């Protein structure tokens, strides 16, 4: 087998990013160490969770899980320097791609006015072959791409353009973490441990995975080492980049 394709380093000449994912823990399964790097550079990163992950713990009723998972997500975000975490309250496990979801995302983009939007892998699989992705992730990512573009068009969802809110066509790129088609990456060697700590903050959720013996560091190292090799560093995070150039 040939050597894996090298990753191109992501640009870091930006100041504001908005991360939009489906569930609490989605960012921590790969992207949190990169977020820690960026907040350490003085960049602003805001988290927006479409759902509260209330259907994610088999042994816990949704109403209780919602509160707990929101608390864990806020604590997890704080570990990597993120102090703004929003929950849209959409139904966990039942996200649907379509105009309503695009409308929600466009509103968040217009409110926060980011340079970069981060989301998770929304390809059909995690490995480009057999490991199927989850329906919420696919719907979220597709809606992020379109909602970001919608946010720049004043004739779409014009009811949002009140109280000083304006169209926002200046999102330069959307970055999807952990995509099997990733061709870019960032060195997270110095912040890898903060990424692990951020994932471990989802203790109630992780305790219900498999036999309860999930090892956050082992899992993340299994992602970060191959990405780091492709970058020529110890640990890396890989992203698929979608260039928009709207404004």
The structural domain count of the chain equals 1
The chain-wide mean pLDDT, for the chain, equals 95
Q: What percent of the chain has pLDDT over 90?
A: 91
Calpha distance 37→21 (Å, rounded): 19
3-state helix, strand, coil in the chain (%, to 5): 40, 20, 45
Query: Within a domain: residue 3?
Result: no
- Provide the pLDDT for residue 229: 98
- State the Cα angle at 94 between 89 and 95, rounded to 5°: 70
Other beta carbons within 10 angstroms of residue 6's beta carbon come to 12
Q: How confident is the model at residue 3 (pLDDT cuts 50, 70, 90)?
A: confident
What CATH number should be reported for the domain holding residue 75?
Answer: 3.40.50.10320
In a domain, 78, yes or no: yes
Residues 88 and 84: their CA atoms lie apart, in Å, by: 13
108 domain-assigned: yes
For the stretch 176-216, pLDDT in tens is 999 999 999 999 999 999 999 999 999 989 987 766 678 99
Helix 32-40 to helix 62-79 angle (10° resolution) is 40
**What's the predicted TM-score (pTM) here?**
0.96
| Strand order, beta sheet including 116-120 | 8-9, 184-187, 236-243, 173-177, 116-120, 16-21, 44-51, 85-90
pLDDT tens string 57-106: 998 999 999 999 999 999 999 999 999 999 999 999 999 999 999 999 99
Q: Is residue 57 part of a domain?
A: yes
| DSSP per position, 56-72 | S-TTS-HHHHHHHHHHH
Q: What share of the chain in percent tops pLDDT 70? A: 97
- Is the four-CA dihedral 7, 189, 27, 126 of positive or negative sign? positive
Judge whether residue 1 has pLDDT over 60.
no
Expressed as residue numbers, the domain containing 25 is 14-243
Question: How confident is the model over 160-180, as pLDDT tens digits?
Answer: 999 999 999 999 999 999 999
Do the domain assignments include residue 9? Answer: no
């Amino acid at each position: 087998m040939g050597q894996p394709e090298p990753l191109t380093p992501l640009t870091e000449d930006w100041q504001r990013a908005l991360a939009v994912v489906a569930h609490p823990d989605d960012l921590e399964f790969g992207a949190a160490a990169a977020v820690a790097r960026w907040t350490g550079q003085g960049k602003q990163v805001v988290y927006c969770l479409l759902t509260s992950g209330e259907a994610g713990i088999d042994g816990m009723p949704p109403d209780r899980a919602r509160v707990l998972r929101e608390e864990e997500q806020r604590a997890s975000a704080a570990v990597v320097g993120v102090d703004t975490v929003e929950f849209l309250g959409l139904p966990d496990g039942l996200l649907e791609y379509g105009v309503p979801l695009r409308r929600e995302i466009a509103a968040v983009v217009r409110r926060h006015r980011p340079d970069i939007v981060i989301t998770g892998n929304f390809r059909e699989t995690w490995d480009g072959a057999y490991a199927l992705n989850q329906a919420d992730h696919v719907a979220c990512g597709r809606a992020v791409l379109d909602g970001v573009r919608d946010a720049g068009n004043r004739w779409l969802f014009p009811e949002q353009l009140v109280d000083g809110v304006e169209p926002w066509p200046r999102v330069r790129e959307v970055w999807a973490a952990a995509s099997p088609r990733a061709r870019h990456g960032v060195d997270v060697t110095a912040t890898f441990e903060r990424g692990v700590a951020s994932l471990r903050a989802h203790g109630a959720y992780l305790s219900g995975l498999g036999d309860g013996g999930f090892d956050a560091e082992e899992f993340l190292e299994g992602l970060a080492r191959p990405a780091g090799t492709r970058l020529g560093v110890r640990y890396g995070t890989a992203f698929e980049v979608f260039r928009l150039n709207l404004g």
